[in-house]
Amino acid sequence: MKMINGGVCAAKGFKANGIHCGIRKSQTKRDLALIFSDVPASAAAVYTTNLVKGAPIAVTKEHIADGIAQALICNSGNANTCNANGIEIAEQMSQLAALKLGIGAEDVIVASTGVIGQPLDIEPIANGIDELADGLSCDGNDFAAEAIMTTDTKKKEVAVEFEIGGQTCHMGGMAKGSGMIHPNMATMLVFITTDAAISPKMLQKALSTDIQDTFNMTSVDGDTSTNDMVSIMANGLAGNEEITDDGESFAVFMKALNTITVHLCRMIAGDGEGATKLLECKVAGAKDIQTAKITAKSVICSSLVKAAMFGADANWGRILCAIGYSGADVDVNKVDVVFQSKAGEISVCENGASVDFSEEKAKQILLEDEIDILINLNDGDAQATAWGCDLTYDYVKINGDYRT
């Protein structure tokens, strides 16, 4: 497994682009993205668990019901959610892209992100589609990644090279997500491409399995969005024998996918709205995987823990508190807690009780921009990891006037 450049364009046969078409008021921000495969691809997706869902989700579900897609169009600045004509607009977006690309509208994945409850005008998208499609290129991933950003402060891209059955394969992904991020999907859009050959059934299995340990273990603020989507297209141009069942090839594919998704999870959590620190909570010694996951997510979602990390305050009692109300079957008298960063590590709790530690050293460790919260439940062999960020003054500032 080798990290490479190229994002969603790293895989053979994929091109991308992103432009400013006028959805967003700022003339300097791109707001419309397109990804295109030279050939039809296996397609799979997972969606938000929120009962309120953006119109693009309904359209995409219908379009990829046959497991095939060839293009993806996404706008930022408007979520196209809770709009009376939302389905119509999402279908029109698909049709505009399809007509320009010479494919069927049913082979287009469509997504939107931004403000909820405001009508989305199709006119700027229609006016920009020629520029968007004509600008597709094998190095257009940066423009596409920029065009799906909302409150994100940085583009989120990653790509890997790997081998299946003697054939070199590539996989790349891009994501947006900064706020309304909470386990069981979040306000994030993640688009993944690969030139590996895999059946739609196995592609869906791979994605649905992977997100349980990655995107569903990521939280910024406890709000689950309406428009979350993770989609993947696999066009098979790498030339490997198609993966149609479990086995060594599927395991390699899963490893590549997990490499992509973990990197994107860390990028999303680290770029949380107003965040200054990426938090990674690793729980070990749990009696089962469910206990480990519940514990890790409870800690990473705790506003008090997040605030303490912002202040570089080694208030480990808040971690025990979060474990205690998590609902996990844990013996709190066995719990150990360690804080770790590139500045070192320090034990702050053993067997559920305080230990003598240097507050000065702890503060130095917690002043770093990436903090590991290491928890050992000392009750088994299961483990899990969750990702989050600190809670800062800027989070309130950003969300206090997000719409206006």
Q: Compute CA 243 distance to the chain's CA centroid, rounded to the nearest angstrom.
A: 25
Tokens at residue 4, please? 């490479």
Which 3 state secondary structure label does DSSP give 383?
Answer: strand
Residue 343 CB burial class (10 angstroms; 0-12, 13-18, ≥19): middle
Reply yes or no on whether 214 is catalytic. Answer: no
Count other Cβ atoms within 10 Å, centred on residue 114.
Answer: 24
Given a contact cutoff of 8 angstroms between Cβ atoms, the answer to whether 336 and 375 are in contact is yes
Tell me which amino acid residue 147 is: A
How many residues does this entry show for the chain? 404
Sign of CA dihedral 125, 127, 131, 134: positive
Beta bridge partners of 351: none
How many Å apart are CA 23 and CA 120, to the nearest integer? 8
Radius of gyration of the chain measured on its C-alpha atoms:
22
Angle between helices 289-301 and 317-324 (to 10 degrees): 130
Tokens at 260, concatenated? 């992509």
Q: Are 259 and 1 in contact (CB under 8 A)?
A: yes
Which helix (H) or strand (E) segment holds residue 58: the answer is: helix 55-63
Among 60, 81, 113, 187, the active-site one is 187
Can you list the alpha helix ranges (DSSP code H) found in 247-391?
Answer: 248-270, 289-301, 303-310, 317-324, 359-366
Task: Catalogue the active-site residues.
Answer: 187
